[in-house]
Amino acid sequence: MFNAGVLGVGAIGSAIVTGLCENADDPPHLLLSPRNAELARCLAERFDTVEVAPDNQAVVDGAPVVLVCIRPQIAQAVLAELRFPSDRIVISAIAGVRVQELQRLVAPATDVARVIPLPSVARRDGITPVHPPHAAATALFDRLGETIQVSDPGAFEALSASTATIAAHFAYLNAVAGWLEAQGIPKPAATRYVSSIFAGLAEVTGSGESFDQLAREHATAGGLNEQFLDQLEQRGTFEHVGIGLDRILERLS
């Protein structure tokens, strides 16, 4: 008997499978959908406890817990084709699809939870919000780092909206590296150097201090960091972060 099935083996589904199985003392038995056939096949070859199902319905039929990691744009079409037994636990990583809508799509199953896993779960270093608080979802994602129990649906959507900043973060790093390249630094060296700057800051952000405190500590009076920070603040750069997130939240809501 499989412990869980995974519908949608893209980047997040693959990260979940990797985190659960790679070098794990007691890896679960997982049944994967064949939609991304090549990636699913590679995962099955890497991990002895992973198998690829012949179709999506076989995933639903073969596992008591079904992780749904499909894109929101196709969620309704994919789920409408499936028959969920009433005793299935459905854990959804679909952005913007609320619990009530999920229950409608997977009826007669009613035991539904939502999660926001990030790629870091592949390293068992993720912090995954769970809504509503749910024992099975918490147990599974605690194996991949830790969980945050979220009762308020609005708060859960806000956490989901915050993940929309990831691409912008990499674009910011690219802008810094691109500037270095324009100064004559070879692109590979510029990319590695910028990566090392921000990778090293990850430990600092775990110190418990607020981000505002850390910003001020690194902006020495009269120093280069203070000058650059002032430039961005004077142009309202950080105000636009909030404006952009408001629009993402409107879309999710």
Integer CA distances (angstroms), 73 to 56, 92, 129, in order: 17, 14, 22
Rounded distance, CA 27 to CA 20, Å?
6
Average pLDDT, the chain: 94
The answer to whether residue 184 scores a pLDDT higher than 80 is yes
Confidence label for 1 from pLDDT (cuts 50, 70 and 90): low
The answer to whether residue 84 scores a pLDDT higher than 80 is yes
Indicate if the alpha-carbon torsion angle 202, 207, 212, 215 is positive or negative: negative
> What pLDDT, on a 0 to 100 scale, did the predictor assign at position 200?
77
DSSP letters spanning 11-58: HHHHHHHHHHHTT-SSPPPEEE-SSSHHHHHHHHHH-TTEEE-SSHHH
Name all domains of the chain by residue range, CATH numbers in brackets.
4-151 (3.40.50.720), 164-252 (1.10.3730.10)
Rounded distance, CA 18 to CA 121, Å?
8
